[in-house]
Amino acid sequence: MTAFIREIETRSDGALWNNGDFVVRQMRGKESLSVHATGRAVDLSYRYVRSTGKGDATRGIPEGGRKQAIWWSRLLIINADLLGIELILDYFPEPYGRGWRCDRRDWVKYEVPTLAGAPKGDWLHIELSPSMADDAAAVRRAFTEVVLPN
Ligand SMILES: [Zn+2]
């Protein structure tokens, strides 16, 4: 998981950053322990209001926090099998955020309050498969093979 976080922080030039990984905590407003407690989830923050000024036109990476978050979401989804992406939660969209799951291969916009912090939350919650979360070498190797979004 640490290797995964470092790859994204480095490749986004810090536009996305780690806002919580191995924290053992309860899900906000819920009784059960968060997947964060298992060490295979991360919250990556970005700033959606002001542009981060970070981007790389030569690699097609846009400037601005929200645009980068969308670009990275697309990258993670088209490389989901390679990277072991199981779940992405996007706290920003109205009215209640959205979630992408590997078993359904698509975003679902939540119709009822589902995510504490949505809408307008400026972070993505990402969960990796247990095997990828525990294998730094496999994560680094996978990132050398990712296909970039258009
Ligand atoms: Zn989270």
CA of 126 to the centre of ligand 1 (A): 7
Q: Residue 32 above 70 pLDDT?
A: no
Q: Residue 13 above 90 pLDDT?
A: no
CA of 84 to the centre of ligand 1 (A): 17
CA 15 to centroid of chain Cα atoms: 12
CA of 36 to the centre of ligand 1 (A): 6
User: Has this prediction a pTM greater than 0.95?
Assistant: no
| In the chain, domain spans | 2-143
The continuous run of DSSP H or E covering 65 comes out as helix 65-78
Inter-residue contact 99 to 35 (CB < 8 Å): no
Mean pLDDT within 24-51: 73
- Position 111 confidence tier, pLDDT thresholds 50, 70, 90: very high
CA of 58 to the centre of ligand 1 (A): 31
Tell me what pLDDT residue 2 has.
94
